Chain A
Amino acid sequence: MQEITAQEIIVPAKKDQIPVVTEFVEALMNSRGFDPQKTLEVMLAVEEACTNVALYAYAGKDGNQEGLMRIAAGIAHGKHRGMKLTIEDWGIPFDPTKHIKPISDAGAEERPIGGLGIHLIKSYVDDIKYKHIDGKNVLTLIKYE
């Protein structure tokens, strides 16, 4: 797959920064003529990945409460065109692909609040890969057109 890295953004790993990231993804996909529905799906997957980073990556990591996350978005050209997104953080090693659980059948009262994000990521992208390299969590999401 030939890949052109189009743009990247580095923001504090905080929940209030997530719209900055999703709007970055939205602007890029709109400018490249992606289908609006696919754009929403990718925005959601990226939001869920970044929410995990904001909530957990730097929790309790001494001296690194003001951690950062880097999001690189590229258009993948090849047999199929697609979006490739890489979400990186320097926090606690965590492989979200190991935490994909089936959705609970429990009713509202017993239903656990949590675990939905990774399920949504898996539902809305075509490929998820995780690596821990050079002290970084690197999550790669690919969505084909």
Chain B
Amino acid sequence: MNLECENMEISQTTINDVPVVSVSGRIDAATSRDLETVLNDLIEQNQSMIVLDLGGVEYVSSVGLRVMLAALKKVKPKKGDLLLVSMQPFVKEVFEITGFTRLFAIFPGQAEALLHAKSH
């Protein structure tokens, strides 16, 4: 599935039964709703272990952070997790400044996250 808007693109695939959502562009006040929709749809389909690949994301604002935190809060009680991978430096810095690095499991790439998901 592909979802495109002006400043952001979301694609979705499944690897070893784990949904992998790849985002590129900017997760901002206007685009974050699309990411929220994709994550909520997966959670409603009883997916609780989700990989979110941020490799193509150059910019994230607090609205985007809230969408990720809201998804994390929904999957945690189901023994799931939202695994973040391939963060670019500015996105990583925003996570550090807001203390979000402590809340999320962050991996260098999809392979490491999928390995973690398998062992979970």
Interface residue ranges, A against B (CB under 8 Å): 15-16, 18-19, 22, 37, 40, 43-44, 47-48, 50-51, 54, 103-105, 107-109, 111, 113-114, 116-117, 119-120, 123
Write the nearest CB–CB distance from B88 to chain A, whole angstroms. 10
- Docked-complex contact B90 and A117, CB < 8 angstroms: no
User: 18 extra interchain contacts, Cβ-Cβ under 8 A, other than A40-B58, A47-B28?
Assistant: A15-B63, A19-B7, A19-B31, A37-B90, A43-B59, A44-B59, A44-B94, A48-B62, A51-B62, A104-B99, A107-B103, A109-B76, A111-B69, A113-B66, A116-B62, A117-B61, A120-B94, A120-B98
Q: In the assembled complex, which residues on chain B have CB atoms less than 8 Å from the CB atom of A15?
A: 29-30, 63
Q: In the assembled complex, which residues on chain B have CB atoms less than 8 Å from the CB atom of A104?
A: 99
- A109-B73 CB under 8 A given contacts A15-B30, A120-B97: yes
- A19-B103 CB under 8 A given contacts A47-B61, A48-B62, A120-B98: no
- Docked-complex contact B61 and A48, CB < 8 angstroms: yes
Interface residue from A107, A114, A120 paired with B66 (Cβ < 8 Å): A114
Sample (5) of A-B pairs whose CB atoms are under 8 Å apart:
A16-B29, A18-B29, A40-B59, A43-B59, A109-B77
Determine whether B65 belongs to the interface, using a CB cutoff of 8 Å to chain A: yes
- A18-B28 CB under 8 A given contacts A51-B62, A105-B99: yes
Determine whether B6 belongs to the interface, using a CB cutoff of 8 Å to chain A: yes
Residue of A at shortest CB range from B91?
A: A40
- Docked-complex contact A16 and B98, CB < 8 angstroms: no
Determine whether B72 belongs to the interface, using a CB cutoff of 8 Å to chain A: yes
Determine whether B70 belongs to the interface, using a CB cutoff of 8 Å to chain A: yes
Cα(A48)–Cα(B60), bound, Å? 11
- Docked-complex contact B62 and A117, CB < 8 angstroms: yes
- A123-B7 CB under 8 A given contacts A47-B61, A109-B76: no
| Residue-wise interface mask of B (85-119) relative to A, using a CB-CB cutoff of 8 A (1 in contact, 0 not) | 00000100010011100111000000000000000
- A103-B98 CB under 8 A given contacts A108-B76, A108-B103: yes
Cα(A15)–Cα(B34), bound, Å? 14
Cα(A120)–Cα(B103), bound, Å? 17
Residue of B at shortest CB range from A107?
A: B103
Residue of A at shortest CB range from B58?
A: A40
Write the nearest CB–CB distance from A67 to chain B, whole angstroms. 16
Cα(A85)–Cα(B23), bound, Å? 30
- Docked-complex contact A108 and B73, CB < 8 angstroms: yes
